Amino acid sequence: MSEASQTEVHYSVDADQIATICFDLPGRSMNVLTKTSMLEFHAHIEQALKDDNVKGILITSGKKDFMGGVDLAMLGSLCDPFSRTPKEERAKEGYELILGFHKLLRAYETGGKPVACAITGTCMGGGFEIALACHYRVAAKKEKAQIGLPECKVGLMPGFGGTQRLPRLVGVMAASEALLQGKSYTPEKAKAAGFIHDAVDEKKLIEHAKKWLKNADPKKDALQSWDQKGYKIPGGGPYTSSGYQLFVGGNAMTLDKTKGLYLAQEHILSAVYEGLQVPFEDAMRIEVRHFTYLMTNPQSFNMIRTLFLSKQALEKGARRPSQEDVPVNKLKKIGVIGAGMMGSGIAFVAAKAGIKTYLIDKDQSAAERGKETIQSMVTKLVQKRRMSEKDAALMMARILPKTDYTVLKGSDLVIEAVFEDMKVKADILKNIEEAAGSKCIIASNTSTLPITELGEHITYKKNFIGIHFFSPVDKMPLVEIIKGKKTGDRAVARALDFVKKIRKTPIVVNDARFFYANRCIIPYIEEAHRMVTEGISPALIENAAEMLGLPLGPLQLNDEVSLDLSASIQKATAAALGDKYEPSPAADLITKMLQKKRHGKKSGAGFYDYDGREKSLWTGLEKLYPITEEQPSLEEVQTRLMTIQTIEAIRALEQKIITDIRDADVGAIFGWGYPPYTGGPMSYVDMVGSTLFLRQCEKLAKTYGKRFAPPKLLREMGRGGERFYVRFAPEL
Name the site residues for ligand NAD (rule: CB under 6 A).
Answer: 337-343, 361-362, 366, 417-420, 424, 428, 445-447, 468-469, 471
The beta strands (E) that lie in 155-222 are given as: 184-185, 198-200
User: What stretches of 559-717 adopt beta strand conformation (E)?
Assistant: 608-611, 614-617
Q: How far is the CB of 658 from ligand NAD (least distance, A)?
A: 19
CB of 418 or CB of 436, closer to ligand NAD: 418
CB 134 within 8 A of CB 283: no
Identify the DSSP state of 469: E
- Number of Cβ within 10 Å of residue 705's Cβ equals 13
Nearest one of 668, 643, 645 to 658, comparing CA atoms: 668
Question: Among all residues, whose Cβ is closest to ligand NAD?
Answer: 340
| Helix runs in 205-327, H state only | 205-215, 218-221, 241-258, 263-275, 280-295, 298-303, 311-315
Closest CA to 452 of 483, 428, 474: 483
- Choice between 304 and 342, CB closer to ligand NAD: 342
Would you give the DSSP letter of residue 658? B
Nearest distance in Å: CB 421, ligand NAD? 8
Share in percent of the chain as helix, strand, coil (round to 5): 55, 10, 35
Helix locations, 80-123, DSSP H: 87-109
Q: Which is nearer to ligand NAD, 51 or 404 (CB)?
A: 404
In terms of CB distance, is 295 or 428 closer to ligand NAD? 428
| Stretch (H or E) spanning 359 | strand 356-360
Nearest to 502 by CA among 392, 350, 395: 350
Tell me how far, at minimum, the Cβ of 514 lies from ligand NAD, in Å. Answer: 11
How far is 133 from 111, CA to CA, in rounded Å?
A: 11
Nearer to ligand NAD, 226 or 674 (CB): 674
Cα–Cα distance between 289 and 267 in angstroms, integer?
Answer: 10
* CA–CA separation, 604 and 598 (whole Å): 8
Three-state secondary structure call for residue 241: helix
Q: How far is the CB of 548 from ligand NAD (least distance, A)?
A: 23
Provide the minimum distance between the beta carbon of 669 and ligand NAD in the complex, in angstroms, as a whole number.
Answer: 18
Q: Which is nearer to ligand NAD, 225 or 568 (CB)?
A: 568
Considering the complex, what minimum distance in angstroms separates the CB of residue 432 from ligand NAD?
A: 10
Q: Which is nearer to ligand NAD, 256 or 363 (CB)?
A: 363
**Cis status, amide bond into 472, omega within 30 of 0:** yes
Of 114 and 338, nearer to ligand NAD (C-beta) is 338
Alpha-carbon distance of 91 to 85, in angstroms, equals 10
CB of 492 to ligand NAD, least distance (A): 19
**For the packed helices 241-258 and 172-180, what is the interaxial angle rounded to 10 degrees?**
20
Which residues, 6+ apart, have CB-to-CB distance to 433 below 8 Å? 440, 442, 458, 459, 460, 463
Nearer to ligand NAD, 237 or 466 (CB): 466
- Least distance from ligand NAD to the Cβ atom of residue 425, Å: 7
Residue 67 pairs in a beta bridge with 123
Nearer Cβ to ligand NAD (446/678): 446
Residue 455 beta carbon to ligand NAD: minimum distance, rounded to whole angstroms: 15
By C-beta, is 382 or 407 nearer to ligand NAD?
A: 407
Residue 449 beta carbon to ligand NAD: minimum distance, rounded to whole angstroms = 7
CB of 372 to ligand NAD, least distance (A): 12
Shortest Å, Cβ 610 to ligand NAD: 18
Nearer to ligand NAD, 103 or 430 (CB): 430
Give me Rg for the CA atoms of the chain. 28
137, 167, 212, 335 from 197: Cα distances, Å: 5, 16, 11, 47
Considering the complex, state which of residue 240 and residue 471 has its C-beta at the smaller distance from ligand NAD. 471
* Residue 437 to residue 238: CA distance in whole angstroms: 69
Cα–Cα distance measured from residue 147 to residue 69, given in angstroms and rounded to the nearest whole number = 11
Q: Please report how close the Cβ of residue 473 comes to ligand NAD at its closest, in angstroms.
A: 8
- Sign, Cα dihedral of 721, 725, 731, 732: negative
Q: CA-to-CA distance for 405 and 416, rounded, in angstroms?
A: 12
